[in-house]
Structure 1
Amino acid sequence: MSAERDWASLVPTFDMFDPEHEEWKYDGFAWAREHCPIIHGSPPSTGPRSIVTRYADVRQILEDPETFSSAGSPPVPAPIRLGALDADPPEHTAFRRLLNPVFTRQFALQFEPDMRAYARELIDAWVDRGEVEMLGEFASPYVARILARMVFDETDMDKMERAKQVVIRVAERPDDEGFFDLAVLSAEYLAAAIDNPPEREGMLRQLVTGEFLDGKPMTEDQAMGAIASTFLGGLDTSRSAIAAICLLIAQQPELEERVRDPRWIRNDMDEFIRLISPVASLGRIATRDTEVGGCPVKQGEHLLLRFDSANRDETKFPNADQLQFEPPRTGTAGFGLGIHRCIGMHLARVQIAVAMEEIFARVTNFKLAVPPEEITWAPGIANCPHAVPLRFDRVL
């Protein structure tokens, strides 16, 4: 940690959308976990937010939806609903009951042949060059194609490219115009599904034909929110994870052998996800005066739960800033905790596993194509590098 910084003054200014704050946030969170675990700040991009940095406190909040509500509490003020993300029970329970069947591992595995075909096609485009920008030339289009095929049954990749740009804007530079574009995009897909209900089992069919709460169908507002949150989660976080895993392998070449072992998906993948924390944070609102980790929390207080800080809490994960595979770590917050644990985590695991298997069937010996100091991370709701330029050798 940089001892020369005045963390007591600097940390309360933290703004997740300020690129300069990406440079010091992990050191700042480490200081906060020890000295001031709930940081009271009011950055211009979000307004007043109390940042929760310790693992135990994040877990306490996420496991108590009665005291800490999701309703109206996204990490940034959002003028649209975001489905299960900003719903409390019983509405949240109804969302999960309706959508869980189409986000199981078994459902995702039906699309494994498509995933492999997409991965191979993308790899074909750059494998002979000996270099690739892994985020833009593989991870982003790969994830977009899977979401298009599996969730939206979409064949027009220009529409998915438009969706990707909308999602990146909302994740990195949110404003009312960006959320409006996301709402319009979601409304288009919902309207098409209502006019022509999909015959294939999937999310859109569930939204327009399934029973939601008390035997009633979803409202259009609720269905649009489910679509919007699926775009945000499906297009942003998995691409971040794939690109960041490749970056870590380039920085620590011995990791390639572990990822080549099919058993890596049992425990090692979760450890990569813990360190990367593709989803950086979620929001909550206190419904009553209470206390978290010895700190008072007032009714109506907006809380920003930092998964990336919780996942590096040394009291839960010794040597937390490093990958540790043996013994396996348990209880990580990489896919969230509590009732809002990521509904898409099974899809994410399958598409990450397929991506890495197909990549390392064709290439080996990742190396950074730029000096390490040129690798920078985008600000925003997700933890994602701006770019991952790599060189490699072909597998003979």
Structure 2
Amino acid sequence: MSYDPTAVDSTVTDTADTTVTDTTVEEPPTLPTDRRTGCPFDPPAELTALSDKPMRRMRYTDGHTGWLATGHAAARAILADPRFSSRYELMHTPVPIEGLSGELPSAPVGDISGLDGPEHTRYRRLLTGKFTVRRMRQLAERVEQFTTECLDAMEQTGPTADLMEAFAQPVPALVICELLGVPYADRERFQSQVATVFDQTADGEAKGEAYMALLQYVGELVLAKRAEPTDDLLSDLTTSDLTDEELAGIGGFLLAAGLDTTANMLGLGTFALLSNPDQLDALRADPALAEKTVEELLRYLSVADPLPRSALDDVEVEGQLVRAGETVTISVQAANRDPHRFPDPDRLDIHRKATGHLAFGHGPHQCLGQQLARVEMTVAFRALFARFPTLRLAVPPQEVPLRDRSNIYGVISLPVTWDKE
């Protein structure tokens, strides 16, 4: 992504040289989560209305008074600043977690999103070389093959389908299985576990059991890779200094991350394009716009939200003093709709230069698999609308079930239809 880092460097300041008044608001609000009826692609109105004040006080589920960051510059600066920690056990939760009492547990082994350096740095260095732009583009041919196979099956069983079941879920599942060396035939075993891990309505015990089952599965796979290595990422990692437990944890983390976010971007992204026919017509007229379409959908939908961080020191952000121990919840949805960064942000515009969005995060924890996700979505959207030029919703838009109680937003199912030739 191209972005001028000097544009936001000044938003985070060392408080040793600055005197800041720590203002608080009586009875600060909680995190807005309810989307307006009929607006499945827009963040809660209360979030986007806060663009005039990018940092404000917010009350957390345990009574903690922390912060909500909605401005793009503030969010980007916090994500890049090592004085803000990603460790789960230091955070307060912005939304209730079923069955959780007390503080969050620390990250399980291999979950690099809940670690700080140097532990995070060690894992990250081992993995970064496996996810280069060049290597991900080399996978494009396999992505195209998997996409074609799924579209062939859709066409044979059509002219109606649940796009999530027939296309949006199997394409990334096939790709991540190919990358990691996971037998695709096992997908039903781990897909339900991944869904439970990301389900906000599931209680803590169910989430824990699902995650442990996922780790057990990947652990068995790691032992098989050590015994008989194959040409895949997990086999590559068996030559590193990672223990079996670390390998299983990293494998489970990558498997879950590679499945859920891309699947929901494909499903919700198709829904958004079908709901904006002028944009879809432009894409159909010029398939070369597919890459720009993907970037704009990533900005517009921001399915992975929010991103909490905990201050390790007193830090000034946008003129507000965040004290050590306070949690800041970064609303990626609001930051990617910040009118100071993206003009007319509530409009889906596939001609927009959407680079600089925060859909993949930013800084040391920016998504490892972002280039792979871009390749998958670019190939998939281009092929889907080329194969089915009359693709449309099979139900009224308001009847599409939304996945609005999950860490990853999306649709539960997307009934579509098309005209048979």
Cα displacement string for residues 69-91 of structure 1 (whole angstroms, at most 9, x for unaligned residues)? 11226867355425321222233
Amino acid at match of 2:409: N
SS at match of 1:125: helix
**Quick check: 1:14–1:43 contact (8 Å CA) kept in 2?**
no
CA 1:154/1:223 → structure 2, altered by over 3 Å: closer, same or farther?
closer
Distance in 1 between residues matched to 2:246 and 2:29, nearest whole Å: 35
Amino acid at match of 2:176: L
Cα displacement string for residues 111-151 of structure 1 (whole angstroms, at most 9, x for unaligned residues)? 43433333233223332522222122210122112111222
Distance in 2 between residues matched to 1:169 and 1:47, nearest whole Å: 27
**Quick check: 2:87–2:106 contact (8 Å CA) kept in 1?**
no
**Quick check: 1:68–1:285 contact (8 Å CA) kept in 2?**
yes
- Measured after TM superposition, the shift of residue 39 of structure 1 is 4.2
Cα displacement string for residues 3-26 of structure 1 (whole angstroms, at most 9, x for unaligned residues)? xxxxx999833376x899997852
Distance in 1 between residues matched to 2:27 and 2:351, nearest whole Å: 36
**Quick check: 2:107–2:114 contact (8 Å CA) kept in 1?**
no
Distance in 1 between residues matched to 2:106 and 2:161, nearest whole Å: 38
Listed as ranges, the matches of 1:332-347 within 5 Å are 332-347=357-372
CA 1:163/1:272 → structure 2, altered by over 3 Å: closer, same or farther?
same
SS at match of 1:147: helix
1:169 matched to 2:196? The reply is yes
Distance in 1 between residues matched to 2:413 and 2:28, nearest whole Å: 27
Cα displacement string for residues 335-387 of structure 1 (whole angstroms, at most 9, x for unaligned residues)? 22112221101111111122123323321133222222223431221121222
CA 1:193/1:223 → structure 2, altered by over 3 Å: closer, same or farther?
closer
1:117 is matched with which residue: 141, 145, 150? 145
Cα displacement string for residues 236-264 of structure 1 (whole angstroms, at most 9, x for unaligned residues)? 11011111221122112232344343432
**Quick check: 2:291–2:378 contact (8 Å CA) kept in 1?**
no
**Quick check: 1:11–1:28 contact (8 Å CA) kept in 2?**
no
Poorly superposed stretches of 4+, deviation over 4 Å: 8-11, 18-25, 46-49, 73-76
Amino acid at match of 1:71: R
CA 1:384/1:290 → structure 2, altered by over 3 Å: closer, same or farther?
same
Instruction: Point out where structure 2 has 5 or more consecutive residues left out of the alignment.
Output: 1-24, 98-103
C-alpha root-mean-square deviation of aligned residues, in Å? 3.1
Percent same amino acid at aligned positions? Answer: 25
CA 1:257/1:11 → structure 2, altered by over 3 Å: closer, same or farther?
farther
| Matching residue of 1:329 | 354
CA 1:369/1:335 → structure 2, altered by over 3 Å: closer, same or farther?
same
Amino acid at match of 1:167: V
Amino acid at match of 1:382: I
SS at match of 1:296: strand
1:141 matched to 2:195? The reply is no
Distance in 2 between residues matched to 1:194 and 1:139, nearest whole Å: 30
Cα displacement string for residues 301-356 of structure 1 (whole angstroms, at most 9, x for unaligned residues)? 22222211110111111111112344513311122211222110111111112212
1:68 matched to 2:84? The reply is yes
Distance in 2 between residues matched to 1:20 and 1:366, nearest whole Å: 26
| Matching residue of 2:412 | 386
**Quick check: 1:83–1:227 contact (8 Å CA) kept in 2?**
no
Listed as ranges, the matches of 1:1-396 within 5 Å are 12-14=29-31, 25-35=43-53, 37-43=55-61, 50-65=67-82, 67-72=83-88, 77-78=104-105, 80-81=107-108, 83-128=111-156, 129-151=158-180, 153-157=181-185, 159-173=186-200, 175-197=204-226, 199-210=229-240, 217-260=241-284, 261-378=286-403, 379-394=405-420
**Quick check: 2:107–2:115 contact (8 Å CA) kept in 1?**
no
SS at match of 1:146: helix
Cα displacement string for residues 207-228 of structure 1 (whole angstroms, at most 9, x for unaligned residues)? 3322xxxxxx234554343223
- Measured after TM superposition, the shift of residue 62 of structure 1 is 0.7
CA 1:135/1:80 → structure 2, altered by over 3 Å: closer, same or farther?
same
Amino acid at match of 1:331: G
TM-score norm. by structure 2 comes to 0.79
**Quick check: 1:365–1:393 contact (8 Å CA) kept in 2?**
yes
**Quick check: 2:69–2:328 contact (8 Å CA) kept in 1?**
yes
**Quick check: 2:67–2:329 contact (8 Å CA) kept in 1?**
yes
SS at match of 1:100: helix
**Quick check: 2:57–2:65 contact (8 Å CA) kept in 1?**
no
TM-score norm. by structure 1 comes to 0.84
Distance in 2 between residues matched to 1:182 and 1:118, nearest whole Å: 27
Cα displacement string for residues 240-290 of structure 1 (whole angstroms, at most 9, x for unaligned residues)? 111122112211223234434343244332111100112222221110122
